[in-house]
Amino acid sequence: MQKIGFIGLGIMGEMMAKRLLSKGYQLVVYNRTKEKLGKLEDENFKAVDLPAQIWGECEIVISMLSDSTAVESVVYGNDGLLGSVKPGFIHIDMSTISPSTTKKLYLDYKNRSAHFVHAPVLGSRTQAGDGTLLIFAGGDEEAISKCEEIFKVLGRKLWRFDSVEKATNLKIAMNSMIAMMIIALSQAFVLAEKSGISKEVVLEVLENSALNSTMYQNKGKAIIEGNFTPNFYVKHILKDINLSLEIAQDMKIPMPVISAVRELYISALAKGYENEDYSAIYKVIAELAGLKI
Ligand code: NAP
């Protein structure tokens, strides 16, 4: 089975790496914090100390990292990927990062006759683990085709785009919706509670209406249980809101709602919810409305 590189064992990366190992791929893995390598018990992986060492054994590497700074550090840093990439090699980044970064990475790899594919994903820890992510892949057609089998293991549907920016922007558009939807649910919960109606009734009504979504039901149940264990951090949704506003300014798209929503996520940071699930935004809205959590 093919040997591929894998960089980043965070919430998503750990599950994606385990999925690839379970399907027989051999992995060469780099993670900044070495202790996290212990999460992969499977014997079919080899750890390396530096990103560049991956190219010694693999022609394709996947990265799943926090943000643009993290991806740039494994590419441009000391012993980063770009320094020793060979013609034809492929770096697939699946993180949610800025379009200016993905465009620069694409061009810098191209200058070395190599490929950069941006393939961000929709779905979270569960979907990463069972291979049902939705994948938006942008870049050179030839490189995307070579990675198709890998995408089939990680995702249940693939959308291909002829530029990295299209894939990047679609992911950011989706996440701007997530950031707003959880606020809509939280506000409805708080309004109902202050009227003496339970959150369970709100979810039941949603379930029977055209407004329903799997996200409302899953996050709604977690909010009811008071379970804010992170699947997707508050700090990362705020990153994505900032990316939306960056695109909005560049493309001259007014996004007044996402600007207002950003203030609530900044309050979540101020309250210390940075490393909780983004549904912790419910607590911010409830507290502003004078409810006791
Ligand atoms: P995470 O748990 O915070 O993991 C981040 C990873 O990035 C870790 O491996 C971390 O390494 C590494 N990292 C951070 N800064 C670094 C740096 N400067 N240099 C090298 N490595 C660095 O994040 P996640 O939830 O897995 O998300 C990963 C990406 O996928 C993010 O862009 C996120 O927005 C996106 N995403 C997340 C979800 C979700 O539901 N969680 C869904 C779709 C997309 P250390 O172990 O050393 O800290």
Q: How confident is the model at residue 214 (pLDDT cuts 50, 70, 90)?
A: very high
Q: Determine the distance separating the centroid of ligand 1 and the alpha carbon of 189, expressed in angstroms.
A: 30
Q: Is the confidence at residue 42, as pLDDT, over 80?
A: no
Pairing between β-strand 133-138 and β-strand 121-122 as defined by DSSP bridges:
antiparallel
Q: What does the pLDDT read at residue 213? A: 97
Give the HSE-up count for residue 124: Cα atoms under 13 Å, Cβ half-sphere: 15
Task: Return the ligand 1 atom nearest residue 7 CA.
Answer: 9
In 3D space, the residue among 8, 141, 147, 12 whose CA is nearest the CA of residue 70 turns out to be: 8
Q: Is the pLDDT of residue 82 over 90?
A: yes
Report the pLDDT value the prediction gives residue 1, as an integer from 0 to 100.
78
125 Cα nearest atom in ligand 1: 40
CB 19 within 8 A of CB 153: yes
CB-CB neighbours of 127 under 10 Å: 20
Strands, E, within the chain: which ranges?
3-7, 26-30, 45-47, 60-63, 90-93, 115-118, 121-122, 133-138, 155-161
Question: For ligand 1, what atom is nearest to the CA of residue 13?
Answer: 26
User: What residues contact 191, with CB distance under 8 A and at least 6 apart?
Assistant: none
- Per-residue pLDDT tens for 225-266? 999 999 999 999 999 999 999 999 999 999 999 999 999 999
Nearest C-alpha neighbor of 61 from the set 37, 84, 29, 106: 29
**CA 276 / ligand 1 centre spacing (Å):** 14
- Buried-exposed string 182-207: b where 16+ CB fall within 10 A, e elsewhere: bbebbbbbbebeeeeeebeebbeebe
| In the predicted structure, residue 177 carries a pLDDT above the cut 80 | yes
Tokens 């465009």 map to which residue? Answer: 103
Catalytic residue among 3, 23, 166, 171: 171
CA of 210 to the centre of ligand 1 (A): 34
**125-148 per-position pLDDT tens digit:** 999 999 999 999 999 999 999 999
Residue 12 phi/psi, 5° resolution?
Answer: -80, -45
Q: What is the share, in percent, of the chain residues with pLDDT greater than 70?
A: 100
Ligand 1 pocket test, pick from 14, 31, 65 with the greatest ligand atom count within 8 Å of Cβ, gives 65
Mean pLDDT for 115-129 is: 98
Residue 221: per-residue pLDDT: 98
Average pLDDT of every residue of the chain: 97
Active site residue 36: no
CA–CA gap between residue 80 and residue 54 (Å, rounded): 10
Q: How far apart are CA 54 and CA 4, in angstroms?
A: 8
Residues with a CB atom less than 6 Å from ligand 1? 8-13, 31-33, 36, 64-67, 69-70, 73-74, 95-96, 121, 124-125, 231-232, 236
Measuring CA to CA, which residue among 61, 96, 88 is closest to residue 232? 96
The answer to whether the pTM exceeds 0.75 is yes
Query: Per-residue pLDDT averaged across 178-194, rounded?
Result: 98
pLDDT confidence band for 44 (50 / 70 / 90):
confident
Ligand 1 center–CA 67 separation, angstroms = 7
